[in-house]
Structure 1
Amino acid sequence: MAPVGADLPPPDRGSAPEAQYILTLSCANRPGIVAAVSTYLFESRCNILDANQYDDRETGRFFMRVVVNPVGEGVALDALKEGFAALAGRFAMEWSLRSRFERRRVLLLASKSDHCLADLVYRWRIGEIPMDIAGIVSNHSRETYAHLDLDGIPFHHLPVTRQTKMEQEARIWQIVQESRAELVVLARYMQVLSDGLAAKLAGRCINIHHSFLPGFKGAKPYHQAFERGVKLIGATAHYVTSDLDEGPIIEQDVERVSHHATPEDLVRKGRDIERRVLARAIAWHLEDRVLMNGKRTVVFAD
């Protein structure tokens, strides 16, 4: 077995791209924010490639995402951060500034249903989602996924019972720290995280719920949907909180079904929706397109 957090070679992308940086920020809205940010970037010799902003009039919060590239030599990321910190302090901003091409480390948690896990590993191998898989944690043995190509990815079999839940979660947290995982993904991991672990992973743990939240929470949501005779089924990707299936929603999708559909049909269709919804949510998170807005999110998607 590979060591925890083993560095895996990224997919070949050819020649190195030019430097680009992503700036995200949120703060109380007031006049002059955009002018101050754009002036700072101009004076720091940065060219704006893409910019999105949103003014939430209900909360009075302002959100912004800007992609820039340095013009000329000597525009260092650390220097940009140091200079921007003063401006951010003036507006009491929550902000982040990082390289657009920094590959972040992602830990995947899965249970017996492996369709989301298989999809994410495939997208990673072809370079569609720019991440490094820090490892896979499952409460099922490696043999459960013998049909998947997991070669080179650290695998951790952590069985769990009601009596061993706290010990198992302590080990998960240890793996998160040792592997330097910045994001944890519950890829159909069918165990409810404790309040303690959910709190430790606040804002960096994404779950795929196999239903269109806020309806049909908990176990067997497709069977619940069948009993109600729904005409639309869907899936929801959201951040994990201590409130079961109530974290801030990142992405959702639906498909139409008819009265002919059986529970098995809903499960089959649902698997396809779950895969694409989870993949989009992870990609948007890694691209700094998702900003927290209380119990909601602001998503600057393409």
Structure 2
Amino acid sequence: MVTPADAASPRIATPAAADRRYVLTLGCPDQLGIVARISSFLAEIGGWITEAAYHSDADSGWFFTRQAVRADSVAIGLDEVRTRFAEIAAQWGPHTDWQVTDTGEQKSVVLLVSKESHCLTDLLGRADRGELPATVSAVLGNHPDLRELTERFGVPFHHVPFTGPDGKSGARARRAAFDQVEAIVDGYRPDAVVLARFMQILPPELCEAWNGRAINIHHSFLPSFVGARPYHQAFARGVKLIGATCHYVTADLDDGPIIEQDVTRIDHTDTVPDMVRQGRDIETLVLARGLRWHLEDRVLVRGRKTVVFN
């Protein structure tokens, strides 16, 4: 088995000095003066703003923002930036959620797969071309089918069977398998754990451990057709649109906060295989967009909803 320490470093696009950014994201109770205070803080530290996005949610009374500044314009270190901003954020209440990240720090992704290859192929290709702002550190499959494809890109593949020594599946075998999955994945300390058509339901404790990092692609325009065989469900209902949904994983099946969705039109002449083929195209695009926005800190979560500054 290849371990995280043994793995070669796949290709990643590293930002040039002038392209490196510090990214500030914030969610807090909406109130007077938030934008002015953030702007003053960034000016005080010499921050050259390259992006600024805001959203005030009238229903929840919550304010969201994402700010990006040129890292080379800031005279102090990132730790001091965080320390100083923490003092400011404290005035907006104990539930304020914020972070400052550095695009110069390499991020890591681990992909979980079964037998379907289209999402895996797309993400490996994007990472290999330097189009994904992270390293695909490893791929883990509950079947060995996608090992050759994965290793072709120089990425380590881990096979974790969900059957016991007797070849049978069951609660004990699944628990042992997920314990192994957790140990392998956590060994890479990933910023995102992507269920790229991983046809297993994560146990609640893993959903909690990977909260805000586990991302799933569901081959349906949620909340319609939750669970297995959504294209067959859609065909039986005679729908005219099919789609895909990229969302965060929670203990409630296919009910996590939605990051991205898209659809394509079909008609009565399309068979289930036609719908599956067209759906795969949407799945790859939706997953790639959602993962990129997550890695770029463009997704802010509040309860069951997201604000996506894309």
Q: Does 1:120 align with 2:123?
A: yes
1:138-177 correspondence to structure 2 within 5 Å: 138-141=141-144, 143-147=145-149, 150-160=152-162, 161-162=169-170, 163-177=172-186
Q: Which residue does the alignment assign to 1:195?
A: 204
Counterpart pick for 1:99 among 88, 99, 102: 102
1:243 to 237, 252, 255: 252
Residue number in structure 2 paired with 1:86:
87
Per-residue deviation, 1:11: 3.8
Question: Which whole-Å CA distance do the structure 1 matches of 2:189 and 2:292 have between them?
Answer: 19
CA distance in 2, matches of 1:14, 1:227: 48
Residue 82 (structure 1) shift: 1.1
Moved over 6 A (4+): none
Cα deviation digits, residues 155-205 of structure 1 (max 9, x gap) = 110010323111111111111221111210000000011111111111110
Q: CA offset at residue 9 of structure 1?
A: 4.4
Secondary structure of 2:115's aligned partner = coil
Q: Which residue is 1:3 aligned to?
A: 3
Q: Is the 8 A contact 1:20 1:70 kept in 2?
A: yes
Paired residue type of 2:264: E
2:193 aligned with 1:184: yes
Tell me the TM-score normalised to structure 2 length.
0.92
Q: Distance in 2 between matches of 1:117 and 1:4?
A: 19
May I ask how many residue pairs the two structures share in their alignment?
Answer: 300
Do the aligned partners of 2:248 and 2:259 also contact (CA within 8 Å) in 1?
A: yes
Other-structure match for 2:132: 129
Unaligned stretches of 5+ residues in structure 2: 163-168
Tell me the secondary structure at the aligned position of residue 280 of structure 2. Answer: helix
How far apart in 1 are the matches of 2:194 and 2:13?
Answer: 24
What does 1:1-302 align with in structure 2 at a 5 Å threshold? 2-4=2-4, 6=7, 8-11=9-12, 16-70=17-71, 72=73, 74-92=75-93, 93-141=96-144, 143-147=145-149, 150-160=152-162, 161-162=169-170, 163-301=172-310
Counterpart of 1:156, as a letter, is H
Q: Which range is displaced more, 214-223 or 147-156?
A: 147-156
Q: 1:16 to 1:10 in 2, by over 3 A?
A: farther
Q: Deviations over 1:231-268 (max 9, x none)?
A: 00000000000000000000000000010000000000
Give yes or no for contact 1:114–1:145 (8 Å, CA) kept in 2.
no
| TM-score for both structures, normalised by structure 1 | 0.94
C-alpha separation between the residues in 2 aligned to 1:130 and 1:14? 9
Cα gap change, 1:73 to 1:91, in 2 (>3 Å): closer
Q: Is the 8 A contact 2:128 2:153 kept in 1?
A: no
Q: Is the 8 A contact 1:134 1:180 kept in 2?
A: no
Q: Distance in 1 between matches of 2:203 and 2:10?
A: 33
Aligned sequence identity (%): 46
Instruction: Please state how far the C-alpha of 1:72 moved relative to its aligned partner.
Output: 4.9
Deviation track 1:209-241 (CA, whole Å, cap 9, x = no partner) reads: 001100011111001000000100000000000
Which one-letter code corresponds to 1:290 in the other structure? V
Which runs of 5 or more structure 1 residues have no equivalent in the other structure?
Answer: none
Classify 1:35/1:212 alpha carbon distance in 2 versus 1 (closer, same or farther; 3 Å): same
